[in-house]
Amino acid sequence: MSLLNMLFKKNKNKMDKKDENLDEELIQQLLHEEDGSKLISVDINENIRYIKSSFNNSSDILYRSFSLGDKQAAIVYVSGLANEDRIYENVLNPLMKETNETISVKQLIENKITVSEIKQLNTLNGLINDLAIGYQILLIDQSKEAIALGLPKWEKRSIEEPTAEQVVRGPREGFTETIDDNISLLRRRIRSPKLTFQSKKFGEVTQTEVAVAYINGIVDKTLLEEVNNRLNRIKIDGILDSSYIEELIEDNPYSPFPQILNTERPDVVTSYLLEGHVAIIVDGSPFVMIAPTTMYALLQAAEDYYERYIIGTALRWLRYLFVVMALLFPSMYVAILTYHQEMLPTTLIISIAESRERVPFPALIEALLMEIMFEILREAGIRLPKQVGPAVGIVGALVIGEAAVQAGIVSAPMVIVVAVTGIASFAIPRYNAGISIRMLRFPIIILAGSIGLLGIMLGVIAIVIHLCSLRSFGMPYLGPLAPMQFKDIKDVLIRPPRWKMDTRPNLSGNTNEERQLNNQKPSPSQGGS
């Protein structure tokens, strides 16, 4: 028994009294609940009424009626998501000239409508869903089928170099907010039929398209299955950015460290796909997620692999040093100045004591004040318009720092320590990894001001224990160093030469480990005759 029949049965006493004034809102609600799989009506006016009711008579839904032979027809589309010029040229113009009164939907698709992306619909639910995502719907009176046309047109950002991942040598292209453009950027780099995209939709309201990318034959099936299982568990009303997906599928949601790599660079995604990783592309976000990842991957830059391997190795070790400085430099200064003055040379400790003579705060409070002030300036520089942001950050740091030293609120050595620490944190390639280091700096400073170097040691031990227990889609976060995998360690401590990178890293039992032929070291004896 249908819901409408149940409604009439429930109100049969009123019907017996010939009271036909049923609750219109209740009828519409039951119609929407019932029509999830309701077939398209042969009455075009009824279908149009259903569309208007579904979209609550939204003003951006446009209806263009015309005559198709002796039948009434209409094309419905969302303003701003449809190419109106192509609608007239490829749909309206040929159909309005049609004189065959018995032409079928199939004949229209095959002979009249010159649109590459086209499909037939027979349910109202499918009609509404396709209309909402930008398809144009062609309705024909006395036909139980509708036609969905793919003639999209919307404003989008052009492809340009990512501002957060710039390189001196390397590609200058970056992802945009359009998923089709992002997929094409990857397809242009990997011209193999093994490159596969699995499309899914998330968000009951937003219906956001998400694509899972991998290379068949290289990706580990266990990893791909785990990624799909975690994605399939997501039930949410809306997805606005890839960060929504990231927070719902990561291994440890309470960890301050990112467990999924984010990048705007197609070449970075391509390199990870060739290693057997899985990429997740979200429509509306220029950041593509890569799983799994490691702590060391977050400290690597694309330029490491475009410059000579000796330079790449040197820069990689410098970044490791910068991470240690960004995490421990202020706390080391506070601990030594508070509890371990004997570690400093006499002339240096006398110079520091003279600079702190007028400072009324202990080193711990002084460090916290300066670190908080530096974070305020950093956030202000980011949020302000691009034209004035850097200027405000530089002027603010110089003026406030100099004024604070002159007023005796902070000492000059503390300003130097905080400035060097801030510069070191800027050298971390991944912004989210840099934020994690910056936030962990504060509790370690407090530990250093409380119990000295012992507090720093306890803080570092706690961080290392957490990192050792952390996983990214089942892969150890500190791998291949912990646990030790000698074969893969070469791309962690150093950037090996291209001719040494014979095998792919072992993610979770790779089935295709060979990347290239070995013994490709160049020498003058190789080559031509």
Render 16-37 in DSSP notation, one character per residue: HTT-----HHHHHHHHHHHGGG
CA distance 487 to 491: 9
Rg of the chain (C-alpha set)? 31
Query: In angstroms, what CA-CA distances link 155 with 89, 95, 150?
Result: 21, 28, 16
pLDDT value at position 509?
A: 52
> How far is the C-alpha of 139 from the C-alpha of 147, rounded, in Å?
7
Please answer whether residues 194 and 216 qualify as being in contact, where contact means their C-beta atoms are separated by less than 8 angstroms.
yes
Q: What is the pLDDT of residue 21?
A: 44
Least confident among 32-46, 323-337, 468-482: 32-46
Residue 511 banded pLDDT, cuts 50, 70, 90? low
DSSP 512: -
pLDDT: is 29 or 280 the higher one?
280
Question: Of the ranges 86-95, 374-383, 443-452, which one carries the lowest mean pLDDT score?
Answer: 374-383
Kindly report, residue by residue over 377-386, the tens digit of the pLDDT.
888 877 777 7
Q: For residue 165, count other CB atoms closer than 10 A to its CB.
A: 19
Q: How far is CA 441 from CA 326, 363, 367, 435, 437, in A?
A: 7, 15, 11, 10, 6
Is residue 425 within 8 Å of residue 326, measured between CB atoms?
Answer: yes
Interatomic CA distance for residues 12 and 18, integer angstroms = 9
% of the chain beyond a pLDDT of 90: 49
Angle at 228 between CA 226 and CA 233, to 5 degrees: 100
**Poorest-confidence range of 236-240, 398-402, 457-461?**
398-402
Question: What is the rounded distance in angstroms from the CA atom of residue 128 to the CA atom of residue 151?
Answer: 16
Instruction: Reduce the DSSP state of residue 166 to 3 states and report it.
Output: coil
pLDDT at residue 294 greater than cutoff 80: yes
Q: Give CA torsion, residues 121, 153, 157, 207, to 10 deg.
A: -20
Where is pLDDT greater, at 219 or 20? 219
CA within 13 Å, CB half, 92: 16
In a 3-state reduction of DSSP, which class is residue 347?
Answer: helix
End-to-end CA distance of the chain: 85
- Give Cβ neighbours of residue 352 (< 8 Å, ≥ 6 apart): 337, 344, 411, 413
pTM of the model: 0.84
Q: Which residue has the tokens 């907010």?
A: 177
Q: Which residues of 334-343 are buried (b: 16+ CB within 10 A; e: fewer)?
A: bbbbbbeeee
Banded model confidence at residue 526, pLDDT cuts 50, 70, 90: low
* Spatial distance between the Cα atoms of 470 and 256, rounded to a whole number of angstroms: 11
